[in-house]
Every structure is written in structure tokens, then in C-alpha cells.
Chain A
Amino acid sequence: MSSTVAAPGVISLREITKAFPGVVANDRISLDIVSGQVHCLLGENGAGKSTLISILAGIQQPDSGAIEVDGTPTPINSPKAAVDLGIGVVHQHSTLVPSFTVLENLMLGETGLMLGEKRARERLEELADLLGARIDPQALAGDLGLGQQQQVEIAKAMWKGSRLLILDEPTSMLTPQAIEKLAESVAQIKAQGLAVVFITHKLREAYQMGDCVTILRGGRNVGHIGVDQLATFTEAQAQSAILAAMFGEDISTAGAAELAGATEARREVDDLELGTKPIRLELHGVSTRGHGHDVDIQDVSLSVHEGEILGVAGIDGHGQSALAEVIAGQRPAAFGTIRFDGQAITRLGVRGRQQLGLRYVTDDRLHEGTVGGMSVAMNLVLKRIGQAPFWRFGQINRKAVNVEADRLIQEYEIKTPSSATRAGTLSGGNIQKVLLARELTHGARLVVVNKPTYGLDLKTVQHVREILTGFAAEGGSVLLLSTDLDELVELSHRIAVISGGEIVGIVPNDGRGTAERVGQLMTGAIEGTR
């Protein structure tokens, strides 16, 4: 079992094409992945990055085109074939079994009859040295922090002696500190002569970590910056070259550079004198109890003022959904009180709070926020089932529903063939607009939004952010839960940090350095509990 392959090996993709109904995900993409280099793959959501990885990992088969390994055409027909070639993938979301130990997780792919635990331990030590990480083989995967989990995932991907490591948006869930750690590991792996494909939609990271950059747009390879060229570029030159490729003629779109994570995030919303504004939502010592595997919130107290956007930062899965649901009324508060415009609403259900103007845009857009099999129109009035004018004497008034739907479709620029189209067939961005339209209409006073721009394309991200800031500017209040620190810094007046279900601090968002302070609170809280 050797960890490296004689350099310089090249894995070449030749004219890879893959079409799905209604969309060409990869359109004649060609690129070379050279050992000992970090190849950055840039592109916004829907550009075809994931499909390309699936093809490399043997999960999808290309419709046409070929893959050549060291010059020999080599079909990758199954995930096993990919593993045998030494192609390891670290997916965006954790694939570890939380109740297994690190060692057990790593040995999941073993094919022998008996588990060779001793050998596995040695291999883990080898890889830990390579990654420059300390990994306890007996720790439960679920107990590790996300940064450490990712190190284990990398070890797992390289377990069978990798020659190519693919990292799919590895930084999207990490704190600034953990990203630095990851960059060190990537540098070490590169030094060992392995090829790394690093997928991201943030320009800064591409420039910092990549040796060469390929930009995908609409399923096509629209730009490549070679090793020599990138080395001679300054950061600004690289940025403009990449942006030009990413957006083509849309380069003039305001804020494109910021959205692509090219520059450091700056606050964009206007100042707000919090003292002069009445409190709209107030949580006092709120805790939840037991709800499956989610993290419960403990003794949370916070307040949101009129016209304020209060950000809640935190690593995914640290109690954000419990917080959002307890405010929306979807799960009961075991302790504490919730007040809305001065009125105690702790005992009120979802529908009661909805009618008071307390709204919730969930992060699970497909299964919780919408009913995919129902029409867009029905989804737009989903929270007003049984209410006039859409239902009269218990009977649906389809005309009223359609009038309301058409109004909202126009106002929120939802792209749909008609209001009768099934919601499940819309793109992620349009589904999010459906949710926002439904929640913000008809007397909304405060909206809880959970990861509102996650997985959306850049134009929709901008649109969604404009909708939220516009809502706040008109006196609405927003509780913005997000894992994207840049987004929180750009939109929020204050940022609360949640960790392990507790609010560990609130940072006013004034001037530079907010992200660092929030990051410190996040890591401080995690190191403290581990």
C-alpha cells in the first residue's frame, strides 16, 4: 500500500458531456489534472462542478467523452473503479457514521474477511503525519469538531493510497481558523506529489490555494489559468481574469466581485439606533427538550428590534433549527418565555404566530418549506389554508388563489411557466423566492430566515439579500441564521454566535474585524466544550 504514485501522472478529461433532462450539466469539458498540483475548480451553483466530480468518482457515467489516466483511456464505471485508480473524494457533507469511532469509519471500505485493525492503525498514523493532524483513532466521529471531521474524511479518501484527492467545497462549513488549517494540509498533500482538485465558489480561496484555476459556467469550461500564468498574476489580476470568465458580459453586475468572495466582506446595511427602536421579538431563558438528533437550545435570551437584522452565526447543526422552530412555534419551549410586540406568545401555535406577522423561511426548502407535488399557486397560499378569500365555507376558491399567486409571482420575479406548475420542478432559487413571497406578504412583521442563500446562484443570492434588506428598511425585523460569515457581516446590524445550543456572545457589527471576533467566539466555544 503506497501513498503516492510516481509523478508526474496526469488524469485528463476529454470532451466530457453529460446531459440530464432539460439541462446539459457538462458540455464538452476538457481539463488536465496533474500530480503535485492543486487544481481549483471555480463556478457558481449549477455550473456543473458536482456532475464533473460524480463522473470522476464513478457515480455518474458521461454520455460522451473519455477519461485518460497517464495517457491510457480508462473508463471509470463504478465507484470501486475510481477507488482502485486512487481517486478519493471528500464530499461537501459529512459521510462519517457518527456513532462509529474514527478507526471504524476508516475501515468501512475494507474488503477483506477479517478487520485488520493493527494495519489500519498504522495507516492512520501515516496519514495523520501526512496531513499534519492529530486524530484520535478511538474518538467517536460524532464527537469531533467539523474541522477534525474533515481531516478524517480526507484520511478516508486517501485510505487506499490516493493519487487524486477531490475536495468538494471543503471550506463552506469551516471557521476562518479551520480554513487555515485545511490550507496547510492541502499544501502537505501536494508536497507528497498527489494531485488535488479543490472546488470552491470563493475567489480568494482559489487564488490562495490553487496552482491553476479552471472556471466552469453553464456546464462549459469557460476559462483556464495555467500554472505559469497564475504565478505571474497579482491577486487583483487573477481576480479580474476569473471574474471575467465567471460572469462573461455580466461583469458589470454590481457586487459580483463581492458575491464571488473576492473581497473582504463589509457591512452593507444602514446604521440603526437600536435604543430608539421598540423591541419586536424577545426571548427570555428559552430552552427546548428532546427532538430526535437535533441539538436543543439552552437558556437562550435575545431580542430583535424593529427594522433590525440580527444575524446568528454558528457552525451548522449547533441548535439553529431548534432556535428557528421554537420561535416559529413548530416545537414547544420547555422553559422560558417568548414575547412578540410585547405580547406573550409562548403558548401560541404556528398558525397563531403566522397571523400575528411572525414568519419563518426554513432552510429545508424542498421537504419542509414546499410541497413539491403541489402547484406553485397552492404553495404560495400554503400557510393560509382555510382562510378567506381563498376558502369560502370550507370550499376552495381557485380564482382567488390564482389571482394572489400571479400577484406574488410578479412581485417576487418567480420564474415559472405558470402558477399551476408543480413547485418541485422549479429551480432552487425560484423555490426560495416562493418561500420568501409566501412569508413576507400579508402583514409580515418579523421573519426568521435559516440559511436563506445556501446553494443558490449568485444572481438569486443578490436578489434574496435585497429582499431581506428591503424588508428591514421598511421596518420589518429579520432574524438571519446563517453559516456564511461573509453574508452575516454584510447584512446584519448585530451578530449573535450560537454554539452547542447556547448563545455564547453578541457582537455589534461596526467596522472591520467583526468576522474575526465572531470566528473567535465560535472556536473558543468549541475548544472550551471539547
Chain B
Amino acid sequence: MIEETPRWRRVVDALVRSILPVVLALVVAGLIMLAMGSNPIDFYAGVWKYGLTGNNWQDSLRLMAPLMIIALGLIVAFRGQLWNLGYNGTYLLGSVVAAGFGPVLYPVMPGWIVTAILIVGAILIGAIWSILPAVLKARFGTNEIITSLVMSFIAIGVVNLLIKGPMHDPNPKVTAPQTATIPKADLLPVLDSTRVHIGVVIAIVLALVAQFVLSRTSFGVRLDVFGSSPKAAQHVGISRSWMIVLLFCMSGALIALAGSIDVLGNVTYQRANWNPAYGDAVMPFVFLARLSPLAAIPLVAFYSVFANGGINAARSVGLNSDFLLVVVGLILVFMTITEFVGAKRRLGQSYLPPGMRQTVLGLVQRRGTARRAKA
């Protein structure tokens, strides 16, 4: 008979699988720091200090807004087993819409209309840019990992061209390749007496909406059926092509939205060759959250604090801020190992490949009998 795992057991399991890789990665990163001659305790204390204390938590939250929305964009695509890796290009397209048109439009129109136009514009560009990989996948079965990645490279190039060309700051004194700055008065409103802008609230609300849509509506079930097995989806009467295009557009739209909100709330202008690559950093946390928007909130919040505090903390112990990406990479490695061990344990299998166990045991036994024979 089939044994049901009790509910508490599953909850504990999920928690362990989400948190253990992070803990292990932090420990190993500490050892690497020791080897490099820095004090890991100082570093982690610095993360706490620069990430949370004083007014620093506000900066962490400002960083969280784009990260959270990008995470949602990835979740939507990944749930349908569509590996949209074009996030960097899509993000920059969204941000350049705000940074390029914002300074031109704000002086001539009421602020809230411009903000609405910029956000809707970014969403549309993000969706349209994602249509091509989606259609290629739906129509010809092209691998979307490659097409979305290539579309991302093209987008990054186009964004740089725009900033160096038509969107360059008209002020002749500015020689650096960058757009004009959006006036402070026109930026997204902040929550009273803090520097936390309303984009953070938008991100959290979007995550809650996404959680509801994915877990309680018929669209969520259809998406899960499609993600589990495209064959089953077809059997149930879900159009594969339509689903691919829809999910890609939603994913692209969300990621571009993150870009526009980051510029309108935080960055205020855009330089050429600027690419924060938020998607790369947020990817492991999306998987640690098991593609659940709700579970992604604390994990993304954790990374926001870690990244925000980590930059100064790394500097204070004499490390390059690129060290943060080492930690992200370690999380991915330990996540894979935890998953492997967990899956093996659930199946009640040995961790060794089949046959090896017997061979090893056989060697030991044979040596034992030989010794006994000698004696």
C-alpha cells in the first residue's frame, strides 16, 4: 500500500531543502574567505550592519523591488517549463523606456500620466520582445534557451546604441554615455519619511496576486498541467502554442516592468554598458522557493539584504564585491546536492551507483576470506 508522508514531515522537508543550501553556502564561503585571508565573522557582521541597521534596511527594500518582480517573471515561465533566459536584455529594455522617455515627457505632461505611459510602455516592449522566441518555440520547436539568450544580447546592444545615440542626455556638458536624469519630484512616491518607494509595495502585491492566480484559479491549474506534461495539456484541450506565447509574454512583461520601476524609483538615469544582471542573482532563489511566489518573498528579501549589505561588507574586509556572486554560485551547487540526496532518500535508494556497492563489498569480503585462509 502507498504510504502518505505526514503533512508536518513535508513542511519540514521543504524548509530544510530551501534553507540548508543557503546555510551550507554561507559556511563554505566563510572557509573560502579564511583561505583568502579575510575574516568571515567580520564580513557577516558587516552584512548585518550595512544591510539592516540604521536606514540601511530601506536601501535593501529598494533593491528588493526589481528583484522580486524579476523573480515573478521567471516563476511564470519556469512553471510552464519554459526556460526564458532573456531576462537581462528584457530588464534593460524596460529600464531604458523609463530612462529614455522619462526626461523628455515629464516636462510636458502631468507626472502621473507620464509614469503610467512609461510603465505600460515598458510592459509592452518586454512582452513584444519575448514573442519571437515564443513563436519560434511554438511553431518550430526551437530551443528557447538559445533564442531568448540571443534576443537578450540583441536587446543589450540596442539599449546601448539608444543611450549613446538618440537618448543621450541633451545637456552638452555631459560627455559620458548616459541618459538625462529624471527630476526627483517625478520619481515614484515614497512611503512617508523613508526612502522606500511605492515600487516595493507593487512588487509585494504582485507576488500575492501571482500566488493567488497560480494556486487557486483555473489558469493556475492549466499552467501546472502544461508545465508537468505538454502532452497531458494537449489531451485536456489546452493549446500548446497559445500557452507558450502567453507565458513568454507575461514573463517578458514582468521583467521589463521591473526595469522601469527600478529606474523610476531608484536609479533615475541609465548609463550605457550598465547591466546589473539581477536575473542571474535571483535565479537560485526562484528554484529554492520551488517556483512559489509566496515562498520567494522571504528568500528574495534575504538576498536583497545580503547583496545590499554585502557590497560594503566585502569592501570592509578587503574583498571584491564580486565575491557575492561566488556565494550565489555556491547556493546553486548545494541546492543541487541537497535535491539529489533528498530524491535518493525519498526513493530509498543507495547513494552509490548500482553495482558499485556490491563490487566494493565483494572486494572487502574477498580480502577478509583470504586473510582468514592465510591464518
User: Which residues of A line the B interface, CB within 8 A?
Assistant: 20-22, 58-61, 75, 77-78, 328-330, 349-351, 354, 360, 362, 364, 367-374, 378, 382-383, 385-386, 391, 394-396, 416-418, 421, 425-426
Measured in the bound complex, the distance between the Cα atoms of B218 and A330 in whole Å is: 20
> Which residue of chain B has the shortest Cβ distance to A79 in the bound complex?
B355
Q: Which of B2, B216, B232 contacts A371 (CB 8 A)?
A: B232
CA distance A258 to B3 in the complex (A): 34
Q: Across the two chains, which residue of chain A brings its CB closest to B220?
A: A396
Alpha-carbon separation in the docked complex, A425 to B217 (Å): 25
- 4 additional A-B pairs beyond A367-B229, A421-B4, beta carbons within 8 Å, are A78-B355, A330-B235, A374-B224, A418-B4
- A396 with B221: in contact, given A22-B1, A61-B355, A329-B237 (CB under 8 Å)? yes
CA distance A362 to B234 in the complex (A): 12
Inter-chain contacts of B222 with A (CB < 8 A): 385-386
Q: Which B residues lie within 8 Å of A20 (CB)?
A: 348
CB atoms of A395 and B216 under 8 A apart: yes
B228 touches A61 (CB 8 A): no
Report which residue of B222, B235, B236, B354 has the largest number of chain A beta carbons within 10 angstroms of its beta carbon: B235
Q: Are A391 and B218 in contact (CB under 8 A)?
A: yes
Roughly how many angstroms separate A217 CA and B355 CA in the complex, as a whole number? 27
Q: Is the interface of A mostly helix, strand, loop or mixed?
A: loop
Residues of B within 8 A of A330 (CB): 234-235
Q: For residue A382, which residue of chain B has the nearest CB? A: B236
Whether the Cβ atoms of A367 and B225 lie closer than 8 Å is no
Pairwise interchain contact B221-A417, C-beta atoms closer than 8 A: no
Contact B354 A61 (CB under 8 A): yes
| Cβ A373 vs Cβ B228 within 8 A | yes
- A372-B228, A385-B221 known; A22 vs B236 contact (CB < 8 Å): no
User: Judging by beta carbons under 8 Å apart, are A21 and B347 in contact?
Assistant: yes
Contact partners of B232 in chain A: CB under 8 A: 367-371, 382
Question: Are the CB atoms of B229 and A371 closer together than 8 Å?
Answer: yes
A-B complex: 3 closest residue pairs judged by Cβ atoms: A350-B237, A386-B218, A351-B237
Which chain B residues lie closer than 8 Å to A385 at the CB level? Answer: 218, 221-222, 225, 236
Q: Is the CB of B355 within 8 A of A77?
A: yes
Alpha-carbon gap, A329 to B237, bound state (A): 8
Q: By the criterion CB–CB under 8 Å, are B357 and A61 in contact?
A: yes
The prevalent SS among residues of B at the interface is: helix
- Is residue B358 within 8 Å, beta carbon to beta carbon, of the partner chain? yes
Among B2, B217, B235, B358, the residue within 8 A (CB) of A369 is: B235
Contacts of A61 in B (CB 8 A): 354-355, 357-358
Q: Which residues of A contact B359 (CB under 8 A)?
A: 77
Q: Is the CB of B4 within 8 A of A368?
A: no
Size category of the B interface is 20 to 34
0/1 interface trace, chain B 214-248, chain A, CB 8 Å (1 if under):
00111101101100110110111100000000000
Known A-B contacts A351-B237, A370-B232; A22 and B224 likewise in contact (beta carbons under 8 Å): no
Q: Check A362 against B218 for contact (C-beta < 8 Å).
A: no
A386 to B216, CA, bound (A): 11
Is B165 an interface residue, CB under 8 A from the partner? no
- Residues of B participating in the A interface, judged by any CB pair closer than 8 Å: 1-4, 216-219, 221-222, 224-225, 228-229, 231-232, 234-237, 347-348, 354-355, 357-359, 362
Least Cβ–Cβ distance between B90 and chain A, in angstroms:
28
| CB–CB A394/B217 < 8 A | yes
Q: How far is the CA of A146 from the CA of B234 in the complex (A)?
A: 30
Least Cβ distance of A391 to chain B in Å? 5
Cβ–Cβ < 8 Å partners of B237 in chain A: 329, 349-351, 354, 383
Q: Which residue of A lies closest to B357 (CB)?
A: A61
With A330-B234, A395-B217, A396-B218 known to touch, is A417 a contact of B1 (CB < 8 Å)? yes
**Interchain nearest-CB distance for A424 vs B (Å):** 10
Provide the bound-state CA to CA distance between A425 and B354, in Å.
23
Can you list 17 pairs linking A and B with CB atoms under 8 Å apart?
A: A22-B2, A61-B355, A75-B362, A328-B235, A330-B234, A354-B237, A367-B229, A367-B232, A372-B228, A374-B224, A382-B236, A383-B237, A385-B236, A394-B217, A416-B2, A417-B1, A421-B2
What B residues does A368 contact at CB under 8 A? 229, 231-232, 234-235
Shortest distance in angstroms between A169's beta carbon and chain B's nearest beta carbon? Answer: 24
- Are B347 and A371 in contact, with the CB atoms below 8 A? no
With A60-B354, A75-B358, A391-B218 already in contact, the answer to whether A417 and B228 are too (CB < 8 A) is no
- Tell whether, in the assembled complex, residue A383 and residue B224 are in contact, meaning their CB atoms are under 8 Å apart: no
Query: Which B residues are CB-close (under 8 A) to A426?
Result: 2
Q: Is the CB of B2 within 8 A of A396?
A: no
Which A residues lie within 8 Å of B217 (CB)? Answer: 391, 394-396
Bound CA span A416–B3, Å: 10
**Cβ A350 vs Cβ B224 within 8 A:** no
Task: Tell whether, in the assembled complex, residue B2 and residue A417 are in contact, meaning their CB atoms are under 8 Å apart.
Answer: yes
Contacts of A386 in B (CB 8 A): 218, 222
Cross-interface CB contact of B236 among A367, A383, A418, A425, cutoff 8 Å: A383
A350 CA to B234 CA, complexed, in Å:
8
Hey, which chain B residues are within 8 Å of A396, CB to CB? 216-218, 221
Complex interface: chain B residues within 8 A of A60 (CB): 354
User: In the complex, which residues of chain A have a beta carbon less than 8 angstroms from the beta carbon of B234?
Assistant: 330, 350, 368
CA distance A383 to B225 in the complex (A): 11
- Considering the complex, give the chain A residue whose CB is closest to the CB of B350: A61
Rounded to whole angstroms, the CA-CA distance of A360 and B3 in the bound complex is 31
B236 CB contacts on chain A under 8 angstroms? 350, 382-383, 385
Interface-centre pick from B3, B225, B347, B357 (highest chain A CB count, 10 A): B225
Note all chain A residues with C-beta closer than 8 A to B219. 394
Measured between beta carbons, the chain B residues less than 8 angstroms from A383 are 236-237
Q: Tell me the smallest distance from the CB of B184 to a CB of chain A, in Å.
A: 41
Could you tell me if B225 and A371 are in contact, using CB atoms closer than 8 angstroms?
Answer: yes
Q: Which residue of A lies closest to B228 (CB)?
A: A371
Select one of A362, A364, A394, A417 contacting B4, CB under 8 A. A417
Q: Which of B228, B235, B348, B358 contacts A350 (CB 8 A)?
A: B235
